[in-house]
Amino acid sequence: MLVEQVKDFLIRCQNPDAFDEALRPLSAALLVDWNGRYMQQAGCYVMRAYGDPDYLQTELRKKRQCEVVGEYECI
């Protein structure tokens, strides 16, 4: 049985709208708050990855579209 992993990361990027679009084929997205704005914590955007988070981080580092600051735990 395949279990989908979900993990949240703090990231920095220049253009969150374009970055969010680029994340879709990678099974990830920037999280949006109830006002429709991208969620931020400590000056970083919150990205949710579905599937293999290690693969996603590797792809993002290769493309240099953002800086992965660290993992984030939503409460």
> For residue range 35-57, what is the model confidence (pLDDT) as tens digits?
999 999 999 999 999 888 888 88
At residue 64, does pLDDT exceed 80?
Answer: no
Three-state DSSP at 29 gives strand
Report if residue 1 sits inside a domain: no
pLDDT at 43: 94
Rounded percentage of the chain residues whose pLDDT exceeds 90: 52
β-partners of residue 9 are: 47, 71
pLDDT at 75: 61
Q: Where in the sequence is the domain holding 12, given as residue range(s)? A: 6-72
Are 38 and 20 contacting, i.e. CB atoms less than 8 angstroms apart? Answer: yes
pLDDT at 31: 96
Report if residue 38 sits inside a domain: yes
Report if residue 20 sits inside a domain: yes
* CATH (domain of 62): 3.30.70
